[in-house]
Every structure is written in C-alpha cells, then in structure tokens.
C-alpha cells in the first residue's frame, strides 16, 4: 500500500482516542520487527530515524529500507525524520520520500522557533509531508547527553500551533529521552491545559521508562503520537548478546524490536476495526 502520512494516522488516532507508536529504527532487523508487530495487531505505526543517528544509518540507505517496508506492509506505515536539526537534512529526507519530518527548534527562543518552524512547514508543503515541532524542551538529547528540561507553556503552545500550522506538536511535560533517573514525574496539569486549548495532535517524546498507566493518562489528555527509541535499542542489544551465529542473532534482534513494539502498540491502543 502507499506509504502513509503521519497527518492521517494522527487524525484517525485522535478520533479513536489512542496514540500512534513511533518507533526509532536503525537497521533492517528493527524495521521488519516493528512492521511485524503493527501487522499482528492490525494497527498503523510510524517508523522514524533521528538526524543524530544518520552517521550509523545513512539517510538514503535507511530511508529506502523504511519506505520499502512501509509499502510492503499490510497496515498503514508512515516514514518520519525524528529531531531534524538542520534544513539541509530535512530537505534531504523530503527528497528521499519521507512523509513527515520533525524540526526541533526547542533550543531556540519562541520567536525563532516559530520563524524557523514556519519555514519548514512551507518547505514541506510541495511534498505533501506533515511537520512536527517541539515546544518547551525534553530532557536529555537523543543520544542521552545532558539537557535541562523546560516545561512547555500552554498559552505559547496555542500561539505556536496557530502561527506555524504544524501537524503535530511535541510538548515537554517533564519527559526525557533515554533512561530516567528515578520514576518520571509528568506534568499532567500542563498537558490538560494544552489539550483544552490546542487542536493540534500532541506528541510525547522520551517514551522509554514511562509507565503504562502514565501512557494511558497522556493519551486520555491528547497525546496522539508516542516515541519509543531507547527501549528498542536496549532490547535489540540485549538480544544480540552471546549469540554465536550471525543469522540467529539477527533473528533474535528483530524479534526483540517486534516485542517492544507489540507491547507499546497494545498500550497505546489498537485500531478499531469498524473505523478502519
Ligand atoms: P526514548 O529514547 O526515551 O524512548 O525517546 C524516544 C524519543 O523521544 C525519540 O525522539
């Protein structure tokens, strides 16, 4: 089937009060594992790769594999650039046929984040691609480097969504990438305010380490896309330990990525058949 667009997946998820799992991938075994999980649960997913991971998985190579897997899948699968930091990389992803991109301007001032996000939204339009942006700042970078978390401001969020026209808005509510030190404390009050005033589907980054109960509460308060990366990378790495035969190792790595995706899709909500 055609590669899905994140915009459509989020619209459907919002109507069904669930979230779409966005799983970071860096290799063919991970891609196939995530797609198998989506097919088994008959639920759309997003395959994503972050700009910082491209030295390990070059964009044209991983992009081609992600797109091929999405086209082959029996359920809608979107192909997304996570945490795009530079216009060059975002343009390359659009040229490669990614159906959505994230521009991460969370390190910029609000005015500059709005201005640069607007430019990315304009750039993505001729491709028909969806755009995600971030307000506030999620703790830690994608690679686990320290970064002070800044909670999003709902009033600024409404203005940001209106002025930029983004399709999805990542909101920092105390979440962090990588492994949490202690249980995460999410600001549900902030999320509740944001949901009350903002129509744009919201995105939760830093899914690894968040409890199933907190995921469900986030979804009930408007999170329609949830990102999972570290949990998959750790599970795949663990599965590879001590396996003496290469193809057996690849099989186990793929099964590990599948299991992580299956669990999370189950928690985020499976697609309701009558509305599919
Ligand atoms: P984790 O690595 O904490 O799962 O976060 C994933 C993420 O938000 C990718 O952008």
pLDDT, one tens digit per residue, over 32-74 is 999 999 999 999 999 999 999 999 999 999 999 999 999 999 9
Taking the centre of ligand 1 as the mean of its atom positions, its distance from the CA of residue 47, in whole angstroms, is: 13
Per-residue pLDDT averaged across 10-16, rounded? 97
- Any ligand 1 atom below 6 A from CB of 208: yes
Alpha helices by DSSP H, listed for 96-177, are: 110-124, 154-164
What is the number of the ligand 1 atom nearest to the C-alpha of 140?
A: 3
**Residue 276 confidence (pLDDT):** 47
Mapped onto helix, strand or coil, the DSSP state of residue 99 is coil
Confidence of residue 256 (pLDDT cuts 50, 70, 90): very high
Q: Which two tokens stand for residue 35?
A: 């797609």
Residue-level pLDDT at 182: 86
What is d(CA 130, CA 81) in angstroms, rounded to the nearest whole number? 10
Among 19, 22, 23, 24, which is best to mutate for testing ligand 1, by the most ligand atoms less than 8 A from CB?
Answer: 24
Which one of the listed residues 29, 82, 153, 167 is annotated catalytic?
A: 82
pLDDT at 189 over 50: yes
How many Å lie between the centroid of ligand 1 and the Cα of residue 261?
13
pLDDT averaged over every residue in the chain = 95
Ligand 1: centre distance to CA 141 (Å): 9
Beta partners for residue 81, in sequence order:
49, 101
Angle (CA) 6-113-203 rounded to 5° is 35
Question: How do the residues of the chain divide into helix, strand and coil, expressed in percent and rounded to 5?
Answer: 50, 15, 35
What's the confidence (pLDDT) of residue 75?
A: 98
pLDDT of residue 141 exceeding 90, the answer is: no
Enter the pTM of the model. 0.96
Indicate whether residue 232 lines ligand 1 (CB < 6 A). no
> Ligand 1 centroid vs 208 CA: distance in angstroms?
6
| Ligand 1, pocket-test mutation among 228, 257, 263, 268, most atoms within 8 A of CB | 228
167 annotated active-site: no
Q: Percent of the chain scored above 70 by pLDDT?
A: 99
**Which among 45, 56, 131, 49 has a CA at the least distance from the CA of 87?**
131
Give the total residue count for the chain.
276
Strand positions, DSSP E, 61-179: 77-84, 100-103, 130-135, 168-171
Domain ranges within the chain, ordered by starting residue: 6-133+204-275
Tell me, in angstroms, the distance from the centre of ligand 1 to residue 252's CA.
Answer: 22
pLDDT tens across 75-103, in order?
999 999 999 999 999 999 999 999 999 99
Instruction: Give the model's pLDDT for residue 150.
Output: 86
Is the CB–ligand 1 distance for residue 177 below 6 Å?
A: yes
Asked if pLDDT for residue 275 goes beyond 80, the answer is no
Ligand 1 binding pocket includes 132 (Cβ within 6 Å): no
Is the Cβ atom of 178 under 6 angstroms away from ligand 1?
A: yes
Taking the CA of residue 233 as reference, the ligand 1 atom at the shortest distance is 2
Q: May I ask the CATH class of domain 6-133+204-275?
A: alpha beta
pLDDT at 274: 63
């Amino acid at each position: 089937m055609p590669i899905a667009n994140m915009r459509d997946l989020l619209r459907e998820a919002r109507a069904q009060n669930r979230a779409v799992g966005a799983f970071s991938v860096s290799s063919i075994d991970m891609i196939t594992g995530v797609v198998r999980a989506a097919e088994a649960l008959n639920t759309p997913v997003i395959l994503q790769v972050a700009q910082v991971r491209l030295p390990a998985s070059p964009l044209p190579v991983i992009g081609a594999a992600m797109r091929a897997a999405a086209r082959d899948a029996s359920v809608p699968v979107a192909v997304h650039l996570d945490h795009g930091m530079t216009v060059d990389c975002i343009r390359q992803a659009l040229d490669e046929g990614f159906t959505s991109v994230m521009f991460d301007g969370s390190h910029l001032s609000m005015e500059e984040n709005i201005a640069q996000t607007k430019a990315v939204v304009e750039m993505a339009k001729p491709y028909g691609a969806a755009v995600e942006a971030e307000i506030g700042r999620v703790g830690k970078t994608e690679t686990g480097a320290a970064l002070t978390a800044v909670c999003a401001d709902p009033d600024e969020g409404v203005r940001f969504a209106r002025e930029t026209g983004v399709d999805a808005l990542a909101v920092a509510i105390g979440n962090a990438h990588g492994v949490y030190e202690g249980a995460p404390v999410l600001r549900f009050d902030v999320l509740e305010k944001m949901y009350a005033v903002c129509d744009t589907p919201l995105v939760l980054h830093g899914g690894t380490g968040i409890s199933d109960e907190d995921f469900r509460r986030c979804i009930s308060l408007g999170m329609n896309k949830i990102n999972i990366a570290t949990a998959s990378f750790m599970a795949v790495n663990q599965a590879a330990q001590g396996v003496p035969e290469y193809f057996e190792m690849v099989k186990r790595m793929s099964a590990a990525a599948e299991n992580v995706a299956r669990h999370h899709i189950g928690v985020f909500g499976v697609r309701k058949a009558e509305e599919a």
